[in-house]
């Protein structure tokens, strides 16, 4: 199975920083899974190749997006209660 994620940001610096923040988690993937995350311009590309159960792939994508959200919040891009109320 193969999944591809593409997420665009406002600038190249942000995309690069977030892609680099995700890379350490990708290195800890199970042997049957290969995850590559890179940035090109303002876009983060992640490719996941996996030979296993679909539930594991879905859980991996969910975990990846959670890590991305945490990284966004760390650099001030995340949604806070104050931002939502504006």
Query: 83 pLDDT exceeds 80?
Result: no
CATH code for the domain of 76:
3.30.310.50
Residue 20: the pLDDT is: 93
Residue 35: the pLDDT is: 94
Query: 84 pLDDT exceeds 60?
Result: no
Number of domains within the chain: 1
Tell me the H-state helices in the chain. 12-27, 54-74, 81-85
Query: 76 pLDDT exceeds 90?
Result: no
Count of CA atoms in the C-beta half-sphere (13 A) of 19: 24
Domain with 45 in it = 2-85
């Amino acid at each position: 199975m193969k999944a591809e994620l593409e997420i665009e940001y406002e600038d190249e610096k942000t995309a690069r920083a977030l892609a680099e923040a995700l890379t350490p988690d990708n290195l800890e993937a199970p042997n049957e899974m290969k995850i590559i995350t890179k940035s090109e311009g303002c876009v983060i590309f992640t490719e996941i190749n996996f030979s296993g159960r679909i539930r594991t792939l879905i859980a991996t994508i969910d975990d990846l997006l959670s890590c991305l959200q945490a990284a966004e919040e760390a650099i001030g891009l995340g949604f806070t209660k104050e931002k939502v109320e504006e």
